[in-house]
Amino acid sequence: MGLVLFLMAALWALGWVMKTPVRARLIMIGLIYAVVVIAQLVLPEGADLRRATGGDVRPWLVLGGVAALGFGYVTAVRRLRGKTPQDTTAPPNPASFREAELTRYARHIVLREIGGPGQKKLKAAKVLVVGAGGLGSPALLYLAAAGVGTIGVIDDDTVDGSNLQRQIIHRDEMIGTPKVFSAQSAMQALNPFIAVRPYHRRLTPEIAAELFAEYDLVLDGTDNFDTRYLVNRAAVATGTPLISAAITQWEGQISLYHPASDAPCYECIFPTRPAAGLAPACAEAGVVSPLPGVLGAMMALEAIKEITGAGKGLRGRLLIYDALDAETRAIRIRRRPDCGCCQTGHASATPREAQAGSTR
C-alpha cells in the first residue's frame, strides 16, 4: 500500500513541476486508485498484485471516502464563494479608521486634494472592475492599496502561464486558478482592511445592470468590443460613471464616460466596432509588458480622482498614450446627438451588432 501511495505522491509532484493542470493530476491519481480497488475486489486472495497493494480493500475504501469528503468540501466552498462573494467578507466601516489604517494612508491624508475627508470617501466607495487581466491587474492592486472600501471584480477566466508577462496581480503558483480568486488573494494580502467581492462568471446582459447598480463606479479592463459595448450599455442604464481603457502593442487610450454628467458614453465615440483586423486583440497583435501597467494605473488614478473630487478628470477627454514614441495627447470628445445608446433614453443590455462577450 505504501508503494502505491508513494507513486501517487510522485505523480502529483511531477505534475506540479511540469505545471500540469490540477484536474489532470487528479484524474491520473484517480485512475490508479480505481485500478487498485478493482484489483482488491476481483483478484483472488493471495494474488501477487493484491498482496502488493495491501491485500485488503477496506483501507482503500476508507482512504477514498476521506478524499471524496475533502474534495466535496473544497468544491462546495468555492461554489459558494463564486455565487455570493459579498457574503464572505464583512464590509468595512467607513466612519472610522484604525490606527494601522491611519499609518497606511498617511501619504493620502497629507495631500491637500485628498486629505482625511477624501480618504473617508475612498473607504466608503464601491468600485467594480470588469476583467482581472492586463488592465484590471494594476487597477485592482492600486485601488486596494489606496483603500477603496469595497472592490468587486468579475471575470470568468483562469490564470494561464501566458498571462504572467503582464498581468502582475497573478503569480506562477496560481496557474489554473480562477482569476478573480487569484486577484482577491493578492489584494487582501496587500490590504486586509478592504472587502473584495469576486464574481467568477461571465458578464451577461441578464446580470449586468443589476450588478452595476450595486457600485458607485465601474472600470472596464476588457479586451473585446462585445463586452465593452455591454459594459457601456449597463453603465448608461444605471447612471454609473465608467472608466474604460484599451491597449494594443505600444499604444493605449483611456477616458471617463458618463452621459448623466453630460460626458459622452463609449458608444458616442465608438458607434460601431472596427472592421476585422483593424483592432486586433493582444493575443494576435502582441503587447509590451509594462503598457497594461501604465494604463491600468491611470484607470486607478482616475477612479481615485472621481471618488474624492480631486483635480481634473477625463470627462469629455480621451487620453492617448504612445509608449513607443513616448508621447501623450488628449483630444476633446462630445456626446453624439444620434447615439443609439445614451440619446435614446433606453440603453438596453445588448448593443447593436454585439452580444455579451468574454471578460478576459
Supply the DSSP symbol for 172: G
Q: Within a domain: residue 262?
A: yes
Residues 210 and 302 reside in one and the same domain = yes
Which residues touch 260 (CB under 8 Å, ≥6 apart)? 239, 241
- Whether 100 is covered by a domain: the verdict is yes
195 shares its domain with 303: yes
Q: Is 186 exposed, middle or buried (0-12, 13-18, 19+ CB in 10 A)?
A: buried
pLDDT for res 71: 72
Residues 61 and 113 in one domain: no
Question: Looking at the structure, do residues 215 and 134 belong to the same domain, yes or no?
Answer: yes
Amino acid type, 348: S
Q: Is the pLDDT of residue 352 over 60?
A: no
Cβ within 8 Å of residue 285, ≥6 positions away:
248, 249
Residue 252 pairs in a beta bridge with: 247, 321
β-pairing, 217-220 with 150-154?
A: unpaired
Q: Is the pLDDT of residue 350 over 80?
A: no
Same domain, yes or no: 76 and 96: no
Domain that holds residue 9: 2-82
99, 41: one domain:
no
State the average pLDDT over residues 162-181. Answer: 96
- The proportion of the chain whose per-residue pLDDT surpasses 70, expressed as a percent, equals 80
Asked whether residue 238 falls in the same domain as residue 257, the answer is: yes
Torsion of CA 25, 26, 27, 28, to 10 degrees: 50
Same domain, yes or no: 31 and 71 = yes
Q: What is residue 79's predicted lDDT score, i.e. its pLDDT?
A: 61
- Residues 136 and 238 both lie in one domain: yes
Would you say residue 357 lies in a domain?
no
Contact 105, 115 (CB under 8 A): no
Q: Are residues 29 and 163 in the same domain?
A: no
> Quick one: cell of 247?
491597449
Q: 327 pLDDT exceeds 50? A: yes
Q: Which three cell numbers stand for residue 208?
A: 449586468
Q: Is residue 352 part of a domain?
A: no
| Per-residue pLDDT, 307 | 97
Helix (H) or strand (E) holding 150: strand 150-154
Same domain as 69, residue 167: no
Q: Is 67 part of a structural domain of the chain?
A: yes
| Total domain count, the chain | 2
Cell numbers linked to 197:
467581492
pLDDT beyond 70 at 212: yes
78 inside domain: yes
User: 196: closest CA among 180, 217, 173?
Assistant: 180
CA neighbor of 132 nearest in space, from 86, 102, 166: 166
Please tell me the predicted confidence (pLDDT) of residue 258: 96
Contact (CB, 8 A) for 237 and 259:
no
Instruction: With a cut of 90, say whether residue 174 has pLDDT above it.
Output: yes
Within a domain: 353: no
Give the model's pLDDT for residue 62.
73
What is the distance between the alpha carbons of residues 258 and 262, in angstroms, rounded to a whole number? 7
Specify burial of residue 330 (Cβ count, 10 A radius: 0-12, 13-18, 19+): middle
Residues 103 and 182 in one domain: yes
pLDDT at 20: 67
* Residue 159 in domain: yes
- Distance between CA atoms of residues 255 and 235, nearest Å: 14
